Amino acid sequence: MATRPTELEIFWISGSPYSWRVLLALEIKQLKYRSHLLEASKEEHKKPEFLALNPRGKAPVLKDGDTVLYESLAIMAYLDRQYSQPQLFGQTAEETGRVWRQISEYSSYLDGPLNRVVLPIYFDKVADKKEDIRAAAKSVHTELARWEEGIGDAPWLCGISISAADVAVYPFLKSLCRAASKETAAPLQLGFLPFESRYPRLAAWMGRLERLPGYERTYPPHWRT
């Protein structure tokens, strides 16, 4: 479907992998949008005007004319139907199935242990969660090894074209690398860094995504400081 003359608006939080997914999708599709960066520290996502858009009080939220949508994967699927090029969820039934399988594998097997590693490091809970972080890291390594083998020599997770699977997974792996580089994570010896040595194929895949036009506009602003 052709791009309509309405102005897209995106409400997002810096560093949120869910927000980052949508920003990447917008840039890959080369869509113009108005950015509303919410300050989580000021709980702007809990204010009445935002709760009117998403009663759950979470980002991201997309506005497209009269359409208001939240949940990152739902937003990405909407964008793919409304603004079809390039297609991120596959052009054939087989491609669509492959993309959703990859996203589902991330959600089912990697998301949980990855967040058990990342969130305590980000929120200064390492001392309380040390053993659980180490246990979760082992599960993350097991799954990443599977992904490292699975990508093979393909440039993208589902083959020769970038897809919603790449967009959905990348922000979380980037967040994992950032968490692993924190000073508080060093004593845990999690073994994720240098990432390009442990998982060279996945690191090369991440590098390809980071060289895409518009990537820099999606990079979390507070990570630059």
The reported pLDDT for the residue numbered 106 is: 98
Average pLDDT over residues 85-96: 95
User: 172 and 73 in one domain?
Assistant: no
The reported pLDDT for the residue numbered 3 is: 45
User: 78 and 99 in one domain?
Assistant: no
CB of 137 within 8 A of CB of 126? Answer: no
User: 115 and 214 in one domain?
Assistant: yes
The reported pLDDT for the residue numbered 4 is: 53
Which one has a higher pLDDT value, 1 or 77? 77
Among 82, 105, 130, the domain-final residue is 82
Q: Which of 72, 58, 78, 54 is nearest to 6 (CA)?
A: 78
**Encoded tokens for 85:** 């090029």
Among 82, 103, 130, the domain-final residue is 82
User: 188 and 108 in one domain?
Assistant: yes
CA distance 12 to 97: 28
User: 48 and 114 in one domain?
Assistant: no
Output the domain CATH number for residue 187. 1.20.1050.10
**Encoded tokens for 202:** 């996945």
Query: Which of 2-11, 111-120, 121-130 comes out lowest in average pLDDT?
Result: 2-11
Give me the domain span that covers residue 17: 8-82
Q: Considering its fold, how many domains does the chain have in total?
A: 2
pLDDT above 70 as % of the chain:
97
Residue 34 has pLDDT above 60, yes or no: yes
Q: Which of 70, 71, 90 is nearest to 80 (CA)?
A: 90
User: 123 and 43 in one domain?
Assistant: no
Q: Which residues are CB-contacts of 96 (< 8 A; sequence separation ≥ 6)?
A: 89, 90
User: 108 and 47 in one domain?
Assistant: no
Output the domain CATH number for residue 52. 3.40.30.10
The reported pLDDT for the residue numbered 220 is: 98
CA angle 158, 79, 204 (to 5 degrees): 30
pLDDT above 90 as % of the chain:
96
Q: What is the pTM of this model?
A: 0.95
Residue 2 has pLDDT above 50, yes or no: no
The reported pLDDT for the residue numbered 7 is: 87
User: 55 and 117 in one domain?
Assistant: no
Residue 166 has pLDDT above 70, yes or no: yes
User: 39 and 112 in one domain?
Assistant: no
Could you tell me if residue 22 is inside a domain?
yes
CB of 186 within 8 A of CB of 121? Answer: no
* Predicted confidence band of residue 207 (pLDDT cuts 50, 70, 90): very high
Could you tell me if residue 2 is inside a domain?
no
Q: Is 187 exposed, middle or buried (0-12, 13-18, 19+ CB in 10 A)?
A: exposed
The reported pLDDT for the residue numbered 128 is: 95
Phi, psi (rounded to 5 degrees) for 14: -60, 130
Among 82, 105, 131, the domain-final residue is 82
